[in-house]
Amino acid sequence: MTRVVLVHGIAQELKGADTLLADWYPALCDGLALAEEVRLTRQEVGMAFYGDLFRPSGHRALGLPRMDASDVQEGLEQELLLQWWESASAYETQVAGPEVIARVRTPYLVQRALDALSHSSFFAGLSEHLMISSARQVRRYFTEPEVRAAVQDRLARQVTDRTEVIVAHSLGSVIAYEALCAHPGWRDLTLVTLGSPLGVRKVVFDRLSPLPADGLARWPVPVKAWTNVADKGDAVALVKQLAPSFGGRVSDVPVHNGAKAHDVRPYLTARETGRAIGQALTRS
C-alpha cells in the first residue's frame, strides 16, 4: 500500500529505487517524528525511480574521452550551468561570481562556470564530466519527447488509488508537476516539492507542459494542497517562491539545510517537511 511516492532528481543514474529509499526513508521518518506526525512503514513508501533511463550503455573501448567545457551545448545546457553559477555565487562566499576576474583567464565562460561550481557545496567533489552530465539530463528531459514520456511513466506506475502524497526533489518536482497535469483523473493528492527549479524562467518554467499562459502555470487538477520547501542557499531552487507563478494555493515554506542546501536528506528531516507530509496523511 503506497501512501507516499518519492521522486528523485538528477544524477542518480547509477543507483536504484531500493538504494535511494535506504537514504530517503529514514530521513522522511525523522522529519515526521520532529513534526510529531504519523509514522510511515517502509511498505507505505514508494520510489519513482527513473535514473537508469539516463545511464549510458556499456562500451568495449577503453579510455573514452570525458566531457569537458567544449562539450557543453549552447542553449539549455549552457544557460543552466550559468544560472547555477550565478545562484551559487550569490549565497556561497567560496564561489567566485561571474563578475570576478579570474587570476588566470579561461577562454570560455562555461569553463569559468565549471571551475567556480567545483567549489560550491552542491557540486563539491564532482568532476566537470558529472556537472555537465547533470545539465545534460535536464536538457534531454525537456528536448527528447521519448525520454520525457518514459520518465513520467515511471511516476505514473507508482501512483495508485491509495497514494495520498507525492514528495518530489529537484528535477523530480518538474516530473511530478507535469505528470499530475497529464492525469486529471487521479485521486486528490498532496504535492510536496523540495528544492524545486519549477519557477526558474527560460530554463524550466517556460518549457513546462502544459505551457504557462500570461506568466501563470496551470494548476494540476489532482493536487488539493501543495507545499513548496526551499533553502535560501539552494542554487538549484533559484526561485524560492512558487506561488506567484503557480497560484496562491501554493504554500511556500523556507528551511535551513546547512552546508548541503540542495541535499534531499536535510530537506526530508526538516520539521516543516514532516509537518506538510504528516498533515496530508492525517487529513486523508
Q: What is the pLDDT along the chain (284 residues), one digit of tens a residue?
A: 799 999 999 889 889 999 999 999 999 999 999 998 888 999 999 999 999 999 887 655 444 457 767 777 788 878 878 887 887 787 777 777 777 655 545 446 778 887 877 777 777 666 777 777 788 888 999 999 999 999 999 999 999 999 999 999 999 999 999 999 999 999 999 999 999 999 998 889 999 999 999 999 999 999 999 999 999 988 888 899 999 999 999 999 999 999 888 899 999 999 999 999 999 998 76
Reported as half-sphere exposure (CB side, CA atoms, 13 A), residue 241 has a value of 5
pLDDT, position 231: 95
pLDDT for 93-117, tens place per residue?
Answer: 777 777 765 554 544 677 888 787 7
pLDDT, position 158: 96
- Cα–Cα dist 258/260, whole Å: 6
pLDDT, position 248: 95
Ranges in the chain annotated CATH 3.40.50.1820: 4-53+143-283
For the beta sheet containing 165-169, the strands, ordered from the edge strand earlier in sequence to the opposite edge, are: 45-48, 4-7, 165-169, 189-194, 223-231, 250-255
Q: Across all residues in the chain, what is the average pLDDT?
A: 88
The CATH architecture assigned to 4-53+143-283 reads: 3-Layer(aba) Sandwich (3.40)
Which residues have C-beta within 8 Å of that of residue 147, sequence separation ≥ 6? Answer: 53, 54, 140, 141
pLDDT, position 3: 95
C-alpha dihedral (206, 211, 217, 219), degrees to nearest 10: -150
Query: Backbone dihedral region of 125: left (phi > 0), alpha (psi from -120 to 50 degrees) or beta?
Result: left
pTM: 0.89
